Structure 1
Amino acid sequence: MHQDVLLGGRYRLGAQLGGGSEAYVNEAWDLLSGKTVAVKIFRSTNSLDNAPFRRELEIHGRLRHRNIVRILDSGDTDSRGDGAGVGQDNRHFVVMELVAGKDLRWILQDKPASPEQTAAWMTDVARALAHVHRRGIVHNDIKPGNILVDFASDPGGPGVAKLADFGIALNGRHGVPNSSSGTPHYLSPEEVCGGTSTTASDIYSLGLVALECLTGTKAFPGPPLESMVARTLGEPRIPGTVRRRWSMVLHAMTDPDPAGRPSASQTVGMLRRLSW
């Protein structure tokens, strides 16, 4: 897909912002609203193999929350309506708000976040999880790359964290996808052992992200297989440099027993108390 292509007769593609195995994301100019947006274009050109697109649209598209990246529109490259040539391959796309910031993976490249930043961002994501969990949805891929921090809407503050990418989310209608069940370095012990991802699994993954924010390093580093095996042998090591109150929260979120972890709503309360 080339830059300057017009999708749906409305969205003029700009620079590519990122991508994964199932889709890539481009900046785009919405000619109708005059705003800049993000367009997620799915790689599959098989109209029968559109499960990732349907999952994103049917699960993510219905969510409205301050801490969840909002889907604005959807379509396919064959419905451009302007005669602009984009080749013979028809692909589905969703249009999302463009967050004026970076994802946590990029932010943590240079140095760890402060405890205050971490508490603010993780509280935001826990609020988003409480919202989706109440609706019977498991995100199933909590990791730094799926958490965007919007600095523009919080000038002078830590920024507002927003949860993105529901491409492998689970709910009553959409079960475990064939292609993936989360990112190896952030899987819960039960997922590593072949169990089903649950709301408690999202909390475990968020605990690993919080620990990475505070330390600047993954809780279980190394190659994916080595990292996953380490998850089954014990809890993540929390350095002595992490404050005791933080340590208690992280131990609760990463309890090896899913039943021992707090719910998303309880996690919000625990994280908020860290700021007092």
Structure 2
Amino acid sequence: MSAPGIPALLGRYRPQTLVGKGGEASVFRATDEILDREVAIKLYRSGGEEEMAQYRTEQTALARLSHHGIVSLIDAGIDYSAPEDPRPFLVMELVAGTDLADTLSQRELRTDEIAEIGYDIAEALEYVHANGVIHRDIKPSNVMLVSYGTTTFRARARLTDFGIAGGVVASSHDEEEGKTTGTAAYLSPEQASRRPATAASDIYSLGLVLLECFTRTVAFPGGAVESALARLTADPAIPDDLPDDWTALLRAMTDRQPEARPTAAELTPVFRDAVLASSRAVA
């Protein structure tokens, strides 16, 4: 049954069931009626013409991203079926898998699994940052663990939700508007203090995600304001006894000074080595 009140977007993408809803958008499982395949649609709240122009600019940049480590954007547009209430939307690849947040709620991860996640996401961020895009909302629920149904290949971590609210083109727009985007528990210190996000902000957030993979505990819990402000005066509690060089690595990634953090390009080979070392240890 189709979602009530929502037409086929662009004449082909038919929303079916609501699978998620937040303050900025709703996500639907949908059908591409031309290619007869399932997709995901992220439908945003309405906005004025100025916001619509910003959405179009951001959609164009996001459409250029194509990498095996990110969930692909298939199409985008603005729904004008109700002219007084225009709503931008993204049509995305529907990925079968479990997000990292759900996985962490169910079981502990081995060190080799954490290394693989770090490598996959760092490699994706290296590509994304090289193309001038900042995700701004790296968190466990935005990391999908995708299994391809074979015994030969491990599950791959893929970065999702490059939506307008959570991941936009690097620009001065947020600085001018004094806005903060992202999820409070995983914000970098600069985002928490309403300074512009940079590629280093994604690295800090990834550091918190990987730390949570080890501890299964959110480093900065609490309400939005409490959580965001806590990292302005304190570093996350990183255990001293993590295996290999993980303690030093996570401390570097979560340094309060953005310029002191390693880049995604620097992290990718480090995580690749960690994957190889963990694999040998498991074997």
TM-score range, shorter chain: 0.7 to 0.9
How far apart in 1 are the matches of 2:33 and 2:168? 34
Give 1:243-258 correspondences, 5 Å limit. 243-258=243-258
% identical equivalent positions: 39
Give 1:212-231 correspondences, 5 Å limit. 212-231=212-231
How far apart in 1 are the matches of 2:71 and 2:5? 23
Counterpart among 160, 173, 176 of residue 175 in structure 1: 173
Give 1:69-218 correspondences, 5 Å limit. 69-78=71-80, 89-152=85-148, 155=151, 157-166=153-162, 167=164, 168-171=166-169, 173=171, 175-176=173-174, 178=177, 180-218=180-218
Structure 1 outlier segments of 4+, above 6 Å: none
Cα deviation code 1:3-27 (max 9, x no counterpart): 8843222122222221322211111
Secondary structure of 2:134's counterpart equals: coil
Aligned residues, how many? 270
Corresponding letter in the other structure for 2:173:
G
CA RMSD, 1 decimal: 2.6
2:274 is aligned to: 274
1:196 Cα deviation (Å)?
A: 1.9
Which stretch shows the higher mean deviation, 182-191 or 51-60? 51-60
Corresponding letter in the other structure for 2:238:
I
Secondary structure of 1:211's counterpart equals: helix
1:36 is aligned to: 38
1:158 Cα deviation (Å)?
A: 4.1
Secondary structure of 1:40's counterpart equals: strand
1:253 Cα deviation (Å)?
A: 0.9
Secondary structure of 2:238's counterpart equals: coil
Show structure 2 runs of 5+ residues with no match: 278-283
How far apart in 2 are the matches of 1:55 and 1:22? 18
Cα deviation code 1:176-200 (max 9, x no counterpart): 1755322211111233233221111
1:67 Cα deviation (Å)?
A: 0.7
Cα deviation code 1:110-167 (max 9, x no counterpart): 2332222221122111111111111222222211122222223665654222222232
How far apart in 2 are the matches of 1:264 and 1:27? 32
1:228 Cα deviation (Å)?
A: 2.5
1:234 is aligned to: 234
How far apart in 1 are the matches of 2:80 and 2:228? 41
How far apart in 2 are the matches of 1:62 and 1:156? 31
How far apart in 1 are the matches of 2:170 and 2:254? 25
Structure 1-normalised TM-score? 0.86
